[in-house]
Amino acid sequence: MRPGGVQRAAAAWAACAFLLTALSACGADRTGGTGTGGGAAARATAPSARIPDVGDRWHRRIPAASRQVVAVYGDGKDSANATVVFYAKRGRLWERVRGWPGHNGKKGWTADHTLGDERSPVGVFTLSDAGGVLADPGTRLPYTRSVDYEAPRWWERSHWHDFDYVIAIDYNRVPGNPPDDPTRPEGEEKGGGIWLHLDHGSGTSACVSMSRPAMEYLLRTLDPAGHPVVLMGDRAALKS
């Protein structure tokens, strides 16, 4: 059964929330938007047999059936700034379709994410479930709408709409369940509840955030038949 009310707030706290004191200390690193963002990966490129700026080890982890990749290029290992790029496979080639500025964990990235480290996990993860406070904008992913996704009103106002739309990143979770399902197959210490969600202008606790237009675009575009995945990490790690 999905947690509701107080239980849901507690789950969100453990997954994507900030401590109140940390919220007060966080400044706006970059404002989210609908532009292309910066960096080589964000610039228009010709279709290619490879996702740009991604090394062999990560390319091999993209499932052969995948035809949609959300690539999150973190600016640096300890940076909260990122560029999010959506790639679609046309025949045998990957085409860059859209790009936006975004944010990741406020302390950067890690290859060994643990609960509360405030770093986003590096890796390739499937995208299988979505939800949020707002009505389904027309996604083909299973979508769970609930007021239980509302951020607590004792958070800073800039965070109140973080979970209007969310897409679950299948890190330490059971695909096929709502994004706020609390099951952690690898244990609580490995963290979980890592989502794509709306941006509030600065780093997250481990999630990836972007503007509302970007989230609406992904929700309307991601298709289970295309086996979508997110490929995420700092630029140096992704090139390795």
Structure confidence by residue, pLDDT tens digits, 91-108: 999 999 999 999 999 999
3-class DSSP state for residue 159? helix
- Say if residues 164 and 212 touch (Cβ distance below 8 Å): yes
126-158 pLDDT, tens digit per residue, is: 999 999 999 999 999 999 999 999 999 898 999
Of the chain, the end-to-end C-alpha distance in Å amounts to 41
- Which runs of E-coded beta strand occur in the chain? 68-74, 81-90, 93-103, 109-110, 120-121, 123-132, 143-145, 166-169, 195-198, 208-210, 229-234
Give the tokens for residue 71.
């690539």
The single-letter DSSP state of residue 136 is P
52-80 pLDDT, tens digit per residue, is: 999 999 999 999 999 999 999 999 999 99
1-37 pLDDT, tens digit per residue, is: 433 443 444 444 344 433 333 332 232 333 333 333 4
Residue type, 142: P
3-class DSSP state for residue 54? coil
Higher pLDDT, 48 or 222: 222
Q: What is the pLDDT of residue 17?
A: 39
Give the tokens for residue 94.
């990957």
- Say if residues 82 and 102 touch (Cβ distance below 8 Å): yes
The single-letter DSSP state of residue 115 is T
158-176 pLDDT, tens digit per residue, is: 999 999 999 999 999 999 9
Q: What CA–CA distance (Å, rounded) separates 119 from 110?
A: 6
Residue type, 90: R
Proportion of the chain above pLDDT 70, given as a percent: 82
Give the tokens for residue 32.
């989210």
Determine the distance from the C-alpha atom of residue 93 to the mean position of all C-alpha atoms in its chain, rounded to a whole number. 24
The pair phi, psi for residue 19, each rounded to 5°, is -65, 145
Q: What is the pLDDT of residue 16?
A: 43
Alpha carbon of 26 to those of 103, 183, 208, 233: distances in Å?
13, 29, 16, 21
